[in-house]
Amino acid sequence: MEMSFQNVLDANGIGIAITGMSIVFAALVLISLYIASIPKLLGNMDKAVKKRAEKKKAVKSAKPVVVTDPSKLSDELLTAIGYVIHMEKEFEDAEDHQRITIQRGDTNQVWAVTGRLRNLSTRM
């Protein structure tokens, strides 16, 4: 096979080369646009984080509502309050301490059980 420019033209080599160069050029433009936009993105993220921190601070510093007569509260509200207190207490008690295990085998000896207990995921 001879080495000539006619082989490039016959195989549509110029079109393939232009297509490849345009793909690489487009990718480099996208990368440079991303790098140029990083300061704006980080600035927006910083503002969002500060807003969230201020909102948390406002919630923590808010004075609790004191109810002098609980009989004026509706049953639905009392149920919701009880549920929230229950779930928060359960979450505090079970945080990374509760594991569910399945024992495989009928032995009660500690050294025989090692490796036969399968831990399931912890509760989050």
pLDDT, tens only, 6-39: 888 888 889 999 999 999 999 999 999 999 999 9
Distance of alpha carbon 97 from alpha carbon 115, whole angstroms = 20
Q: Are 113 and 92 in contact (CB under 8 A)?
A: no
List all residues 6 or more positions away from 104 whose beta carbon is below 8 Å from its beta carbon: 116, 117, 118
| Domain spans, the chain | 1-62, 67-124
The pLDDT tens digits for 51-78 are 988 888 877 777 776 777 767 778 888 8
What's the confidence (pLDDT) of residue 74? Answer: 80
**Is-contact 111 98, C-beta < 8 A?**
no
Q: Kindly provide the b/e burial profile for residues 42-63, where b requires at least 16 CB atoms within 10 angstroms of the residue's own CB.
A: eeeeeeeeeeeeeeeeeeeeee
The pLDDT value recorded for residue 109 is 55
Q: What is the pLDDT of residue 4?
A: 84
